[in-house]
């Protein structure tokens, strides 16, 4: 109770601070009037005419100073509106108000003490009643009588002080309004007395209590019209805090919520009459607080639902602009204040439903509030933002029921069927199916029929968005609650029906004359049709298809955005890509342990291949309208999923379906490196046509990974010479996969990028290709001599001779390729290989190889070098005839 009292004090002080600007404006106006009064008392003397220039406007009569806004009394307004004697001084600007000395002391003595005193009076009256109850000093009847006399005395004193101020002219000074504070304290005590007489002592019947509370509310309303917003704020806070300060060991919730309904009605009426937006917001917040507080103490359901319905109805009737008795609303304008008030009651309804375990009356109350929100938005465009709160409230309740375990009941048949295993069933299945179907049908139908009724484009978009989102999300939530995302033909049929309805709405709106926001609404319905079809596919097939369905939505939405170029749709493609990536990061196997052991035709193909194909298609469609962030994101996802699909399929194939195996073989890494290099070749080819930065960066990244894989993994980590891993047979073995194919692909890549990439990149690729080829040839020779296991470095003389011969043959092959392709780089590579072979023969074979193989090495080397020299002389640097030399010199 002390904490609630402290919070009430803080709230009152906030209201006081809010009024400071109003008081300062009044002080400035009074200061201007005071500056004119001495001049009016002086004898009238002719004033010198002002000096006029050519550009000066003719003199005009000075406008009277603006009358200060007074919320004290009508007499004050008349006094402020009295004519002031015009003098020459009226043509001069009013002097700035000079602050008097002792500003803090003046504020403290004339304002703050008054406010705090009024709060103290109200709290004192309430705590006096509470003390007499606890101490048993006087009887209940005397307590109520004394409290009523105190309330009347405070109100009377406030009215007397108000009239004395008017007569004495004190209202001109910048002080706190003591009459309004006294009246506010009196009305607060009056609320407390009637509430205690009804809820604590049963002195009053419900009807009489309602009439008395209504009378106090009307009296407060009338007093606030005279005394201004200060009384309204203090009275409202006091009325809402009163039940908490009085307290009761056996609370009467019907009395409590009837009392709060009357207080809320008074606050809303006053807010409507004076257009005090802050008062409506404060009342809505306090109402929400009084809905939340009893939930933990086991508050009764029916009084809470009554209060929700009554408060919501009052807000609709008095606060919503353009509806019933609400303020006037300009056509085409959205009112977020009234929508926020409605959202507060909707949020309170959600809490009531959850606290009462989704009881049927609570569900019905929430459905009625959602229906009322739809009706209010239908009648008044200003209330359209409240549709989002209503839709969110309904979806939250269906989702909460779907994911909560305490709605799952385990029942055993018992009796002769006691041996039958327990069966799980869902509590409230029928009620939530009806609730979900009701809000889906309501929002879907209203969202379609409301198109063309609004002038604000956002209103049409909100209607369309709710018409699409609510049915789809409710369908997903119900499917999870009932089928746990397993295969379900009924839910798939419902998704197909939704897709057909959204498609019908799209076609119907497309034929209409475009209204504000009509194009965006049409696109939203088209996106809904695509999403519903994706859900139908998800519900029809096994689990894991949700990932596929989300990916399939991307090309559909991209196609819609191509026909209806809305930036929102392109951004939606990015969101879907992010969702698919998040799903993959959560479980890379898509379906857990049920990936399957069949090579290629397993869940990795559907989980990665289909999204990759969808993203490629969506990226190409998006690129038609521009190379922006959306198209780049989708294309990047397409490349990523393509790489992952192939790499994971390789891992699945090489490890018997276990993609989480901690080790990798030479064949597997060789295939992955070959995949990266092949994709780099493809991206380089595509980049030349599209000039896309995505393809450029992707080619750089994949090429770098391929280079590192060839250099580190194949060269060192999984080299069979170091690991002892069997390589298989001759030629068609792991060496071909690990070294031969990567060498060929790297050579092709080097030739392809020789004119499009920096020279360092091209040369690095060429040297890597030659190195891989040399390693492949060397290890193939070693396989011929040692069999599948080629670990170690021991070699026979015949093996060393074969190395030299193969290297020379490789060098000659490079030379012939360079001559045929007219590639100087290939010829330089041939020279490097030949020099390496010459160094081996002279530095190692002469000393390490014995017998006939040493001679054969030298003879083979000599013949090969002479043949190379012959090729250079005859084909590359052939001597010219004498006539050609003379003609060349004459030309020069």
Cα-Cα-Cα-Cα dihedral sign, residues 370, 373, 375, 377: negative
Count of CA atoms in the C-beta half-sphere (13 A) of 397? 38
Give the alpha-carbon dihedral of 85, 91, 93, 99, to 10 degrees. Answer: -20
Residues 240, 244: Cα–Cα separation, whole Å: 8
Where residue 84 falls among pLDDT bands split at 50, 70, 90? very low
Count of CA atoms in the C-beta half-sphere (13 A) of 64? 9
The CA R_g of the chain, rounded to the nearest whole Å, is 44
410 forms beta bridges with 424
Where residue 745 falls among pLDDT bands split at 50, 70, 90? very high
pLDDT at 615: 95
Please check the confidence at residue 2 and state whether its pLDDT lies above 80: no
Where residue 398 falls among pLDDT bands split at 50, 70, 90? very high
Q: Which residues contact 361 (CB under 8 A, 6 or more apart)?
A: 301, 302, 305
Where residue 78 falls among pLDDT bands split at 50, 70, 90? very low
Give the alpha-carbon dihedral of 818, 822, 825, 826, to 10 degrees. Answer: -10
Identify whether the C-beta of residue 697 lies closer than 8 Å to the C-beta of residue 764.
no
Identify whether the C-beta of residue 823 lies closer than 8 Å to the C-beta of residue 752.
no
Q: Which residues contact 588 (CB under 8 A, 6 or more apart)?
A: 648, 659
pLDDT in tens, 430-459: 888 999 999 999 999 999 998 888 778 888
Q: Which residues of 768-783 are buried (b: 16+ CB within 10 A; e: fewer)?
A: bbbbbbbbbbbbbbbb
pLDDT in tens, 352-384: 999 888 889 999 999 999 999 999 999 888 889
3-state secondary structure 637-690: HHHHHHHHHHHHHHHHHHCCCCCCCCCCCHHHHHHHHHHHHHHHHHHHHHHHHH
pLDDT in tens, 528-583: 888 888 888 778 876 667 788 888 889 988 988 888 777 778 888 898 899 888 88
Q: Quick one: which H or E segment has residue 423?
A: strand 423-426
pTM of the model: 0.62
411 forms beta bridges with 423
pLDDT in tens, 90-143: 334 444 444 444 455 455 444 555 556 666 666 666 666 666 666 666 777 887
pLDDT at 136: 66
Q: Using the 8-state DSSP alphabet, how is residue 584 labeled?
A: H
């Amino acid at each position: 109770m002390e904490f609630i009292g402290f919070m009430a004090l803080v709230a009152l002080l906030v209201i006081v601070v809010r009024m400071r600007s109003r008081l300062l404006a009044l002080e400035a106006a009074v200061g201007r009037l005071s500056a004119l009064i001495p001049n009016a008392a002086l004898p009238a003397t002719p004033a010198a005419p002002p000096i006029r220039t050519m550009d000066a406007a003719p003199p005009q009569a000075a406008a009277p100073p603006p009358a200060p806004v007074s919320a004290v009394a009508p007499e004050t307004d008349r006094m402020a509106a009295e004519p002031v004697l015009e003098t020459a001084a009226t043509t001069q600007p009013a002097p700035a108000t000079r602050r008097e000395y002792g500003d803090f002391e003046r504020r403290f003595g004339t304002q703050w003490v008054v406010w705090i005193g009024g709060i103290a009076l109200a709290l004192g009256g309430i705590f006096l009643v509470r003390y007499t109850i606890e101490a048993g000093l006087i009887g209940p009847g005397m307590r109520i009588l004394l409290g009523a006399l105190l309330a009347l005395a405070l109100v009377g004193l406030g009215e007397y002080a108000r009239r004395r101020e008017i007569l004495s002219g004190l209202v001109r000074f910048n002080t706190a309004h003591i009459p309004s504070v006294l009246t506010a304290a009196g009305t607060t005590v009056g609320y407390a007395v009637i509430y205690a007489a009804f809820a604590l002592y049963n002195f009053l019947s419900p009807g009489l209590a309602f009439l008395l509370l209504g009378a106090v509310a009307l009296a407060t309303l009338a007093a606030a019209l005279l005394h201004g917003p200060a009384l309204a704020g203090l009275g409202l806070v006091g009325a809402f805090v009163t039940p908490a300060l009085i307290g009761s060991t056996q609370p009467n919730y019907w009395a409590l919520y009837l009392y709060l309904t009357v207080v809320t009605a008074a606050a809303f009426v006053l807010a409507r009459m004076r257009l005090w937006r802050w008062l409506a917001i404060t009342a809505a917040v306090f109402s929400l607080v009084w809905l939340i507080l009893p939930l933990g103490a086991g508050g009764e359901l029916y009084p809470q639902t009554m209060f929700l319905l009554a408060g919501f109805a009052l807000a609709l009737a008095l606060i919503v602009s353009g509806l019933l008795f609400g303020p006037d609303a300009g056509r085409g304008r959205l009112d977020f204040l009234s929508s926020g008030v409605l959202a507060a009651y909707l949020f309170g309804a959600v809490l009531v439903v959850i606290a009462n375990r989704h009881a049927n009356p609570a569900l019905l109350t929430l459905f009625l509030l959602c229906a009322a929100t739809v009706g209010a938005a239908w009648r008044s465009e200003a209330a359209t933002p409240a549709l989002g709160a209503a839709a969110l409230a309904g979806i939250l309740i269906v989702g909460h029921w779907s994911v909560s375990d305490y709605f799952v009941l385990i029942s055993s048949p018992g009796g002769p069927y006691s041996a039958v295993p327990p069966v799980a069933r869902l509590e409230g299945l029928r009620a939530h199916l009806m609730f979900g179907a009701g809000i889906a049908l309501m929002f879907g139908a209203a969202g379609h029929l409301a198109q063309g009724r609004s002038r604000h484009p956002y209103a049409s978009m909100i209607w369309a968005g709710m018409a699409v989102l609510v049915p789809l999300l409710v369908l997903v939530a119900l499917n999870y609650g009932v089928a746990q995302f397993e295969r379900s033909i009924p839910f798939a049929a419902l998704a197909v029906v939704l897709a057909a309805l959204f498609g019908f709405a799209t076609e119907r709106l497309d034929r209409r004359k475009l209204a504000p926001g009509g194009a965006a609404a049409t696109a939203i319905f088209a996106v809904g049709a695509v999403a519903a079809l994706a859900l139908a596919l998800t519900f029809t097939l096994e689990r894991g298809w949700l990932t596929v369905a989300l990916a399939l939505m991307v090309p559909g939405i991209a196609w819609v955005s191509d026909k209806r170029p809305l930036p929102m749709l392109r951004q939606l493609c990015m969101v879907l890509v992010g969702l698919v990536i998040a799903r993959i990061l959560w479980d890379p196997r898509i379906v857990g342990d049920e990936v399957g052991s069949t090579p290629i035709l397993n869940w990795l193909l559907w989980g990665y291949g289909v999204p990759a194909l969808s993203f490629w298609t969506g990226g190409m469609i998006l690129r038609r309208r521009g190379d922006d962030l959306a198209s780049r994101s989708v294309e990047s996802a397409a490349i990523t999923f393509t790489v992952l699909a192939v790499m994971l399929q390789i891992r699945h194939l090489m490890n018997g379906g276990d993609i989480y195996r901690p080790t990798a073989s030479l064949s597997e890494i060789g295939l992955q490196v070959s995949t990266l290099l092949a994709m780099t070749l493809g991206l380089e080819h595509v980049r030349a046509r599209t000039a896309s930065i995505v393809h450029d960066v992707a080619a750089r990244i994949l090429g770098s990974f391929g280079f590192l894989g060839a250099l580190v993994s194949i060269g060192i980590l999984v080299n069979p010479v170091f690991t002892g891993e069997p390589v298989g047979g001759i030629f068609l073995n792991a060496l071909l996969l690990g070294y031969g194919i990567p060498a060929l692909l790297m050579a092709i890549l080097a030739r392809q990028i020789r004119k499009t990439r920096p020279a360092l990149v091209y040369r690095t690729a060429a040297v890597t290709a030659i190195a891989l080829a040399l390693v492949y040839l060397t290890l193939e020779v070693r396989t011929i001599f040692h069999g599948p296991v080629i670990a170690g470095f021991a070699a026979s003389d015949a093996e060393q001779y074969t190395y030299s011969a193969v290297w020379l043959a490789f060098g000659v092959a490079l030379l012939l390729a360079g001559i045929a392709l007219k590639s100087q780089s290939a010829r330089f590579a041939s020279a490097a290989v030949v020099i390496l072979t010459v160094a081996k023969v002279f530095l190692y074979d002469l000393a390490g190889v014995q017998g006939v193989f040493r001679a054969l090495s030298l003879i083979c080397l000599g013949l090969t070098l002479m043949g190379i020299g012959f090729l250079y002389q005859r084909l590359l640097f052939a001597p010219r005839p004498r006539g050609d030399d003379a003609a060349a010199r004459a030309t020069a």
